[in-house]
Every structure is written in structure tokens, then in C-alpha cells.
Structure 1
Amino acid sequence: MMRVPALHIIFIICFSFSNAYGQSEKKLVKINSHNSFVEIHGTTNVNSFNCSYNASLPAEEFEVQLSKNGESIEIEHEALFLKVLSFKCPNSQMTEDLHDLLEYEDYPFIIFQLQKITNNKIAHVMIEMAGEKQSYKVNLHNSLHNNQLVTSATMELCITDFGLVAPEKFFGMVKVNENIEVEFGINMNILDN
């Protein structure tokens, strides 16, 4: 199971931000790595596969600046860098194929940058893979209890949007489909500043 704060900045917003127009505030957040995960789900013409991110999370708290702008919440933060080599699949050949597909030698990170939240549940996210950037909208599912926020989502990506070509194996008999899903579940504590 993967333990990373993928898209972690998204999640502090939905239950904790004031409704006042133009207001700004800072939040302190700490990820609960034991209950958080990020996975890539894909299929081939013969089966399916799941690959998990296995890097450890930073232990320190981090700060996020939130600014209300009409119906949107704009977020100021650093981008999240996920190391490609930290994604692991059920077997070593699949893991190697995934790393090669993502061109890890030239582009060692997948980069996530949250741009804004609209309607308290739609995240606008920029993703960079293999040197190509694409923007996506992600529907979030959230629950908050005693300053502990759990958020999850599944986003669909097409690898050709990033200039990547789906690999073929065994002389073309096995081909990876171009569409993949990135699923994440993040459990975090929202702390007083």
C-alpha cells in the first residue's frame, strides 16, 4: 500500500475554510501516512494491474495559504514531487515496464500542482509526467471528524496526453491500454496555527 501525501493540499479546504469573499487564512496540516495511499490502476488486453507508491511521507507539518476568490479557493503551496522509481507493481517486470514508460531516467518525478478548488469539492490540478503538463478536474469525497480529514478521489488519465506510447509485450500480443486511473486516499490532521 502506498504511503504518500499525493494531492495532499487539496483536502484541507472543503470543511475548514470561511465563506467570506476575499478572506485568506493559513492552515497547518500533518499527513497520517499509515492510513494514506496512492495507486495507479491500468489494464492490458489480457488482464489488469495495480501499482502503489511506496515512499515514506515527510514527518513534519506543512503550511498552506488559502484565499477565497468568489466561488473558488486558491491555494499557495509547493508542488508535490512523486519519485517514479517509488512506484511498485505486483511483479518486478511490471515495475520495470512502468518506470520505463514514465521515462524515469530523463524525468524522475511525477509532479502534482493544485491550482484551485471550486464548489468546495472540485480540484483543478496540473500534472506533469515525462516533461509534459496537463490540467485536470478531480471530484473529491471528503469527511471531517474532530479535525481529522479523510479525502479520496479517482482520476482518469490518458498516457498519450503526456506523449507516452502504451507498451506492447510478447511481439504485440499484450498491449497496455492508454487510459489509466490514479486513486488516492489521504488521511490528515488539521492543526491550529
Structure 2
Amino acid sequence: MTKTKVKISPKSEVSICGKSNINSFQCKYNSNLLDEEILVTSVKSTDNIIYLNNAKISISSNGFDCCNNLITKDFKTTLKADSYNTINIQLKEIEIENSNLITRIEIEIAGKTKDYLVPTTFNEKNNNVKGTLKLNIKDFNLKSPKKMFGLIQVEENVDINFNLFLLY
């Protein structure tokens, strides 16, 4: 069992990208809110899989900015940010395949939890983890906003892009 303290650098980037039937949008997370230190415990390791314990990141549902007040407001309403002020991400395991990683994570949004496998890359020189999680908001019983009496509809599939710089 190995314990490591990890902090996510403020130069990290997290964004959620989506589309509507007329446009696309990007909501960026305020990376200055990623200031808590995480004590990560690897509990078991095989030749190509690292099992993790306590590798949990909580981010504020209100920490996103979509560069448009109306879109930001709709986005936070979709996330039910008033009732659920955090999105919890638990790293469960990392499978190593050559220089690529498959990370199994558990995400909790608006009180609903779902597991995902996320292809990621790790740059050891920069302590940098990158990847894109593709998810459907219906997995969390969320409804995409509709505007103008249903003329503008937001797609249910979004991409969560992350570029995290880790500090040890």
C-alpha cells in the first residue's frame, strides 16, 4: 500500500463541450477552485493495473463559466447546482497499456452515480494527465434545456475535456 499526496495545479483545465441544434458551447471550470490536496492510496497493483483508494475530487457545480450568462445559468440549472453543489469524481483504477491509460472512474452528479472508462495519457515529464470523457446527461436523470418553445434544443451528449497538472 502506497500513499501519495496530490494537488491539482491551478494551470489545469477542465471544460464541458456540447451542442444544440443551432450552435455549440463550451463551459470552462475555474481551475483556481481546484486547490484541495488529495491523499491517494494505491491499495494493490498488478503488472498493468493500479487500484486506488481515496482518490476523490470534488468540484463545485457553480464553478463553470460558459462565456454567456444565459448559457451559464441554463448549464447550472441542468446540473441542479442549487440542490447539488458538488460533482464528485472518484478514481478507482488505472490500467496501463503501453503509454496509454484507461482510468476507471465513478462520477456523482445531482445525486446519481455512474462508472466510466476514460482513455487518458500521462506525460511524466510535466506530471500531466489528459483525456476526454464522453457522457450522456440522461445517465444522471438530467434534462437538456430547451428554449424558444422547443425550437432550440441542447443535445444530451457532452464531452468533458481535462488537462490536469499534478503536484506531489
TM-score by length of 2: 0.89
Residue in structure 2 matching 1:107, options 84, 88, 96:
84
Q: 1:60 to 1:157 in 2, by over 3 A?
A: closer
Residue-by-residue CA offset, 1:60-96 (whole Å, 9 max, x unaligned):
6543211333342111225211111111111100000
From the superposition, tell whether residues 79 and 131 of structure 1 become closer, same or farther in structure 2 (CA, over 3 Å): same
Matched positions, count: 164
Q: Which amino acid is the alignment partner of residue 25 of structure 2?
A: F
Residues 60, 90 of structure 1: CA spacing in aligned structure 2 closer, same or farther, 3 A cutoff? closer
SS of residue paired to 1:45? coil
Which residue identity does 2:130 align to in structure 1?
A: S
2:153 match: 175
Is the 2:9–2:35 contact (alpha carbons within 8 Å) kept by the matching residues of 1? Answer: no
- Whose Rg is larger? 1
Show the counterpart of 1:42.
Answer: 18
C-alpha distance in 2 between matches for 1:59 and 1:100: 25
1:75 corresponding residue in structure 2: 52
* Aligned-partner Cα distance in 1 for 2:91–2:150: 37
Cα deviation digits, residues 1-22 of structure 1 (max 9, x gap): xxxxxxxxxxxxxxxxxxxxxx
Q: Which runs of 5+ in 2 are unaligned?
A: none
> Counterpart in 2 of 1:157?
135
Cα distance in 1 between the residues matched to 2:137 and 2:23: 18
Q: Out of 119-128 and 50-59, give the one that drifted further.
A: 50-59
What is the percentage of aligned positions where both structures have the same residue? 32
Aligned runs of 1:129-140 on 2, under 5 Å? 129-140=109-120
CA separation in 1, counterparts of 2:92 and 2:31?
Answer: 24
Please name the residue that 1:124 is paired with: 104
Residue 69 of structure 2: which of 92, 97, 106 is its match? 92
SS of equivalent residue, structure 2 residue 105: strand
Q: Tell me by how many angstroms 1:50 deviates.
A: 0.2
Deviations 1:128-170, CA, capped at 9 Å, x for gaps: 111111100011111112xx41110001010011111111101
1:36-71 CA-to-partner distances (Å, cap 9, x unmatched) read: 110000000001000011152455654321133334
TM-score when normalising by structure 1: 0.78
Q: Give me the CA root mean square deviation.
A: 1.7
Q: Secondary structure at the match of 2:167?
A: strand
Structure (1/2) with the larger strand percentage? 2
| Structure 1 SS opposite 2:62 | helix
Deviating more after overlay: 84-93 vs 69-78: 69-78
